[in-house]
Amino acid sequence: MYMSPGYLFIIFASMALTGLASMWLRSTYAKWSKVLNTSNLTGAQTARLILDANGLEDVQVKAVPGQLSDHYNPANRTVNLSEGNYSHSTVAGMAVAAHEVGHAIQHAKAYTPLNIRSALVPATNIGSRFGPMVIMAGIFTGLSGLTQIGVILFSAAVLFQLVTLPVEFDASRRAAVQLNKLGVVTKQDSAGVKNVLTAAAMTYVAAAATSIMWLLYYISRSRR
């Protein structure tokens, strides 16, 4: 099957972007996972401290399997930390825990971008799965209307990626504010927290950039 130069470029560019972002995150996380934080707080203790300070005593903190599997679940209002971050007193664990609590605070305050992202989940699941298939079907059959439907479907997935950026950056901002407000980080800790959260944020930037490239490619194909 013939692959156009544009198609090949996007494949290699997306692989490079996501690969570099992932490598940066893993290397940064590995570095600061070996450094103990000054307050000797585990990720679980960090999360609990920030939650209680913000009146979120009813939000639970749980350990989940895996590495970098940390997330906040708005459905049952739980902060879920990977086992290493949950039980170890590292700078990386503190950073990740504070970030996930940032999402819990967003949820409690009805942060608009978070609400928009949550509302986009159903359309995103459909668009990311079926959008490219519908677009290719439209291209091969010569049905421009079908291609346009596919572009619209895939656009929902791209919009989700774009809305995710302010959600993630704001959660990191809230994390830094809370850690400093509670006085549990030193200058060295703060530098490590910033490095971990910045590296994590770049994975979302890479994902958004990749989605935009694919959308532009699909739009250009649909107009031929």
3-state secondary structure of 15: helix
What distance in Å separates the CA atoms of residue 81 and residue 78, rounded to the nearest whole number?
Answer: 10
Local structure of residue 67 (DSSP, 8 states): S
145: CB partners within 8 A, 6+ apart: 138
Catalytic, 57? Answer no
110: left (phi over 0), alpha (psi -120 to 50) or beta: left
Cα separation, 66 vs 122, in Å, equals 26
Q: What are the tokens at 161?
A: 């990626």
Token pair 């959308």 is found at 215
User: Cα separations (Å) of 104 from 31, 41, 63?
Assistant: 27, 19, 16
Q: Is the dihedral of CA 47, 48, 52, 56 positive or negative?
A: positive
CA dist 216 to 12, 93, 136, 212, Å? 16, 38, 14, 6
Catalytic residue of the set 57, 83, 100, 168: 100
Active site residue ranges: 100
